[in-house]
Structure 1
Amino acid sequence: MSNQVALCKGDLLIIDDLAENLRLLSEILKIAGYKVRCAVDGQTGLMAAKTSPPDLILLDVKMEEIDGYEVCKQLKSDRLTADIPIMFISAYGSIQEKIKAFGVGGVDFITKPFQAAEVIVRINNQLTLRRLQQQLIEKNQQLEQEISDRQRAEFELKQAYSALEKLAYLDGLTRVANRMYLDKFLHHEWNRAKREQESLALILCDIDYFKNYNDTYGHLVGDRCLRQIAHALSKVVQRSTDLVARYGGEEFCLVLSNTNLSGAMNIATAIQDRVQKLHICHEKSPISNYITLSLGLAAYIPSQKTSIKHLLHMADKALYQAKAAGKNQFIVAGEQVCSISHKLEVRSKI
């Protein structure tokens, strides 16, 4: 029994304007092991409750100036004291008084004269309920925190995985897509274009006389040149459905979804404009004082009779023809086009 009483001990506040009631009730509760504070009127009780919120309040109904109902309303309207259980005490126990007491937020109603054992049991019950409610709130908060932590951990894990995946698919030098991602992306776009019967274009780019450039300026400068070219290509090709990738060495590959030969030629012209404006000096180039590109273009709607390998072969063949024809130009698979002066001139068939 002593363990049960110890478990239910708490800090109590009695608000009553009759000194005899305060003395009698406080003695009973102190003997039962509670810490007891007393307030001789409603205003003093409000200040005491807000200054140091108790575990439970015993509140007399009939008091001068501010009655118990008004005190209860004010306590329940304050976030600091709203959750404190309030037990009303009254010499009058009419149904109307009890209904009003519960209506303003009371949890129990004790009628005077009261029995000590009954008062203690009722207080114990209310304190036990409050502790259980607090434990439930704390448990819910703990669960919410755990859920939040788990969601944050999952989000961070996804971000980390995404970053790792991105790193795995990026070329370490130029920061554009690498060959592995190019193969994956091209396979996806090929199947999509085949399914939707849209044209898929491919542009292979090669830096002219890049070996001479490396031999003249050194590999560190050569690496910087590769990065500049990759950045220029990325500025021209900005649709989320397109891709710029390093194909190998000084070669780059552009995959252009839903793009026909005419659109690919416009992109090729824009690329040469962008590279020309970089003015990357190349003293050992036989054709220009600056870095230039040769490009091979191929585009068609995928079918059962064609393949990714065939599209790559056509673009590569066009690139070979562009370099063989004097470099610094683009060749469309099926026809040769000079783009040095941005004038399209059909020369020969591949």
Structure 2
Amino acid sequence: MMNHSSENKGNILLIEDLSDNLQLLSGLLLLGYHVRSVTNVKMARKILKAKHPDVIVLNINTSEVNCYQICQFIQRHQKLINIPIIFIVALDNGFDKIKAFQYGVTDYIIRPFYLNEVVTKLEMVLTIQRQKYFLEKEIKKRKKIEDILQNSRALILSVLNSSKDAIAAFQSIRHSKTRKIKDFRCLVVNPIFAKLFNRSQNDIIGKVGFKNLIAQINQEFFEDFVTVVETGESLEKDFYYPQEENCWYQLVAVKLEDGFAITVRDITVSKKFEIRLQEGNRQLQLIANLDGLTQVANRRCFNDYLKKQWEKHLQKQQPLTLIMIDIDYFKLYNDHYGHQQGDECIYRVAQGIAMIIKRPTDLVARYGGEEFAIILSNTKIEGGLIIADLIQSTIASFEMPHEKSKVNSSVTLSIGISCLTPDHHTSLEDLIGNADKALYEAKNQGRDRIVSF
């Protein structure tokens, strides 16, 4: 019903004697209405069952038609009950208006009539029908949308309440003048989120107070959420918040209109595993870079670190100092005291050197056998000489016996120092070579001494 082309102004069922309705039928057809005409009740019922008209025009003076019988038939059928009925009555008929309206008649036309009058009545009724049709269609459409929304809400609530993550959504509360965000009102929150703050859902939903709520975790977090709303950039961070057995959480916040949605996930298990893994990796890295005997850096670590420091000092144009150290007559020491005592000697010398080198940018390494190397960042040759002198005096203070030494009765050191400010005319090998030459010269001059190159 009410779904016809632009040429068809409406479907009309005309119930009247054919001889009387010919003029009306012709006029309506010429004006663009689709008109079907019948002269008796049987034909009227047949048409009404087959195709529903938009309007029924019924002449109550038709001899073959009981007009109220037609009205009763229409009233009994739900699909027909809303079709408007217009009676055509004679001026002197004694027409019972109240009875007609009780039988569902919409309007009436008094004979004799003009075609324009009939058209006006028809258009009024059809306009109402069209509005009614579109209104019903809109109601059905909205009802369908409401059902979808209701189902969506139910689904969302089901997901929220069954989720193992803490989930909530908040709306901005702004200053009336400055429009700056002063707090947030909770729109929705699931049980896990409420439990995270030791609250019930009713304590949080609809309430303003997110600022105080999030301060339980970290006061600085509030500004992070303000930034999410004002910039639209998402927020993701891990945080420590001890609660019973759980303590590590990950939060993700995204802008939601003039507010944000937040998900908080318990990552305690994975975080503890990550920490253990990091610690394990750190220990492995430490083992990989440490000399097993002396517990100072090994040769591999020395090579890597010296290369990095060279590049750094080249960029900053700062002096880099390298100290090479050798235990005097160590082979004789080892042969006389044995390998176990020899290892103890190397260990004590390494620890004595490490006592002097305290800056985190410097490095002590076992270079090989009884040789050690020290990298001093941003240090001139004068500084290197001071450090070397401190090392010699420290080892001397240990008074480790060395009966086979040809220079002293205790363990002594030969030390070579080199210093370069890296540039494009020098290389890392120059620094090492110079330190090695200085150490060779210290030995050549009689050992137990410091030589710089």
Superposition TM-score, scaled by structure 2 size: 0.43
Q: Which amino acid aligns with 2:385?
A: M
Query: Structure with the greater relative contact order (CA < 8 A, sep ≥ 6): 1 or 2?
Result: 1
Q: Which amino acid aligns with 2:400?
A: I
Alpha-carbon distance between aligned partners in 1 of 2:391 and 2:327, rounded to the nearest angstrom:
12
Alpha-carbon distance between aligned partners in 2 of 1:208 and 1:146, rounded to the nearest angstrom:
60
Alpha-carbon distance between aligned partners in 1 of 2:452 and 2:157, rounded to the nearest angstrom:
81
Alpha-carbon distance between aligned partners in 1 of 2:326 and 2:298, rounded to the nearest angstrom:
16
Match of 1:197 in 2: 317
Cα deviation, 1:74-101, whole Å, max 9, x if unaligned, reads xxxxxxxxxxxxxxxxxxxxxxxxxxxx
Matched, 1:152 2:282: no
Cα deviation, 1:240-284, whole Å, max 9, x if unaligned, reads 000000111100000000000000000000000110011111011
Match of 1:119 in 2: none
Q: What percentage of residue pairs aligned between the two structures are identical?
A: 39
How do 1:278-297 residues align onto structure 2 when only pairs under 5 Å count? 278-297=398-417
3-state DSSP class of the match of 1:240? coil
Matched, 1:164 2:284: yes
Matched, 1:323 2:443: yes
Shift of 1:158: 1.2
Match of 2:296 in 1: 176
From 346, 365, 383, give the equivalent of 1:263: 383
Q: Is the 8 A contact 2:323 2:374 kept in 1?
A: yes
Shift of 1:162: 1.1
How do 1:1-350 residues align onto structure 2 when only pairs under 5 Å count? 135-136=162-163, 138-140=164-166, 146-333=266-453
Q: Is the 8 A contact 2:165 2:266 kept in 1?
A: no
Alpha-carbon distance between aligned partners in 2 of 1:237 and 1:308, rounded to the nearest angstrom:
22
Shift of 1:135: 3.7
Alpha-carbon distance between aligned partners in 2 of 1:146 and 1:161, rounded to the nearest angstrom:
24
Q: Is the 8 A contact 2:165 2:265 kept in 1?
A: no
3-state DSSP class of the match of 2:422? coil
Shift of 1:304: 0.4
Alpha-carbon distance between aligned partners in 1 of 2:425 and 2:371, rounded to the nearest angstrom:
28
Q: Is the 8 A contact 2:326 2:372 kept in 1?
A: yes
Shift of 1:300: 1.6
Alpha-carbon distance between aligned partners in 2 of 1:130 and 1:312, rounded to the nearest angstrom:
70
Q: Which amino acid aligns with 2:350?
A: A
3-state DSSP class of the match of 1:162? helix
**Going by fraction, where is strand more abundant, 1 or 2?**
2
Shift of 1:236: 0.6
3-state DSSP class of the match of 1:254? strand
Number of residue-to-residue matches in the alignment: 205
Shift of 1:147: 1.3
Shift of 1:148: 1.8
Q: Which amino acid aligns with 2:280?
A: A
3-state DSSP class of the match of 1:226? helix
Superposition TM-score, scaled by structure 1 size: 0.56
Shift of 1:203: 0.3
Unaligned regions of 5+ residues in structure 1, if any?
1-128, 334-350
Alpha-carbon distance between aligned partners in 1 of 2:372 and 2:285, rounded to the nearest angstrom:
21
